[in-house]
Amino acid sequence: MTEKKTFHSGFVTIIGRPNVGKSTLMNAMVGEKVAIISPKAQTTRNRIMGVLTGQGWQAVFMDTPGIHKPRTALGDTMMKAVDSALEDTEMILYVVDASDFREKDLEILQKYAKVSCKKILALNKIDLVEKQNLLALMEKLGAFVSDIVPVSALGGDGVAVLRDLIAENLPEGPQYFPDDYITDRQERFLIAEMIREKALMHLNQEIPHGIGVEIMGIKRAPSGVVHIDATIYCERDAHKNIIIGKHGAMIGRIGSQARPDIEKMLDARVNLKLWVKVVPDWRNRQSELKTLGYLDN
Ligand SMILES: Nc1nc2c(ncn2[C@@H]2O[C@H](COP(=O)(O)OP(=O)(O)OP(=O)(O)O)[C@@H](O)[C@H]2O)c(=O)[nH]1
Ligand SMILES: [Mg+2]
């Protein structure tokens, strides 16, 4: 009789301040773009799963919204998403931006110190800092975690080291998902996020925070083309004008940049139609939060 090898698995919740590179790191780990990325704070609004399966192990990453003081009902649901992801986790992966360390990072480390699970810290964006500053930071943060791994989620440095460390520390457990499974998020969610990402890329000041994307319809034509209608929510008429842009230039840019990403995911030609709708204060309205998928966090 051959001896049955034990399998190791667990949930790894990624937390940290906004904009430190949590989503970039999760994507780098799983090798697919599951979560959208932007230089604007509070890009991620939901708990997003990314699964990585190795030889005899499976890590189920949970990317979460950046921890901040919520000022809207949307912000409240985002912080609930962080707490619920931490409820049943085998490991916490803190992410700190090594080029922009703040007291808030320490507060987060202290706040979750009482959660009894393995804690690892990814010191991200090392491509932006001097080695000496990095060592000082590692010394300062060492007391809160069992391991610190310097990484560049963007460039890839240290990502394999971090992956191996996580794999080594997974407890015995079942294989939750099939080998090639990457995320539990549905196409509809991923398409909306791809559109929101391009909107975040091009819009500035307070507009990105007030953007939401609703997928109105996805229809596959017999020709193979997928027709998608999506509505971009914003909070003011002035924002709507900016999102549409002169002669539709801005919305055209958002659409033409989102389309190739969606086509790649669906492996089909896509006809994307975007609409803009003003819904004042939607971030505090339960019905809109529900429509946009923020209440099932
Ligand atoms: N230079 C550099 N930039 C990085 C690195 N990792 C992420 N970034 C950039 O940092 C910005 C924020 O990245 P995200 O992955 O969206 O950050 P996040 O922590 O998920 O942000 P929220 O979802 O808003 O909490 C983006 O502009 C990324 O390109 C890195 O290793 N080096
Ligand atoms: Mg994110």
The 3-state DSSP class for residue 9 equals strand
**For residues 71 and 203, what is the distance between their CA atoms, to the nearest angstrom?**
21
Helices (H) and strands (E) in the chain, counts: 9, 9
Q: What would the mean pLDDT of 126-134 be, rounded to a whole number? A: 94
Stretch 64-91: mean pLDDT: 96
Same domain (yes/no): 150, 14: yes
When pLDDT is averaged across residues 167-178 and rounded to a whole number, the result is 98
Considering only residues 5 and 233, tell me which one the structure prediction assigns the higher pLDDT: 233
157 within ligand 1 shell (Cβ under 6 A): no
If pLDDT is split at 50, 70 and 90, which confidence band does 296 have?
A: confident
Radius of gyration of the chain (CA): 20
Return the ligand 1 atom nearest residue 16 CA. 19
**Can you name the residues that pair with 3 across neighbouring β-strands?**
none
Q: With a 6 A CB cut-off, is 64 part of the ligand 1 pocket?
A: no
Query: Which pLDDT score is estimated for 176?
Result: 98
- 118 and 20 in one domain? yes
Both 123 and 228 in one domain: the answer is no
Tell whether the model's pLDDT for residue 141 goes beyond 80.
yes
Which atom of ligand 1 approaches the CA of 63 most closely? Answer: 20
Same domain, 69 and 149: yes
Query: Tell me, what's the pLDDT at 114?
Result: 85
Using the predicted structure, report yes or no on whether residue 297 has a pLDDT greater than 70.
no
Give the CATH number of the domain where residue 48 resides.
Answer: 3.40.50.300
End residue of a domain, out of 138, 168, 198 = 168
pLDDT digits (tens, 9 = 90+) for 8-66: 999 999 999 999 999 999 999 999 999 999 999 999 999 999 999 999 999 999 999 99
Task: Report the pLDDT value the prediction gives residue 130, as an integer from 0 to 100.
Answer: 94
Cα 5-2-60 angle, rounded to 5 deg = 20
- Give the number of domains in the chain: 2
Name the phi and psi angles at 170, rounded to 5: -75, 135
- Per-residue burial over 156-177, b if 16 or more Cβ lie within 10 Å, else e, is eebbeebbebbbebbeebeeeb
Q: Specify whether 160 is located in the same domain as 193.
A: no
Output the residue whose Cα is nearest ligand 1's atom 8: 21
Instruction: Look at residue 89 in the predicted model and tell me its pLDDT.
Output: 96
Distance 70 CA to ligand 2 centre (A): 16
245 lies in some domain: yes
What is the model's pLDDT at position 280? 97
Give the tens place of pLDDT for each residue, 198-219.
999 999 999 999 999 999 999 9
Q: Which helix (H) or strand (E) holds 95?
A: strand 91-97
Residue 99: domain span: 8-168
Question: Phi and psi of 244, rounded to 5°?
Answer: -75, -45
Neighbours of 144 (CB within 10 A): 17
189-206: average pLDDT: 96
pLDDT band at 2 (very low <50, low <70, confident <90, very high): low
Distance CA 57, CA 174 (A): 9
Taking the C-alpha atoms of residue 265 and residue 272, their distance in angstroms, rounded to an integer, is 14
> What is the predicted pLDDT for the residue at 4?
64
Q: Which CA distances in Å does 214 have to 12, 77, 199, 264, 288?
A: 29, 18, 13, 20, 10
Query: For the segment 238-289, what is each residue's pLDDT rounded down to a tens digit?
Result: 999 999 999 999 999 999 999 999 999 999 999 999 999 999 999 999 999 9
Decide which of 113, 136, 168 is a domain's last residue. Answer: 168
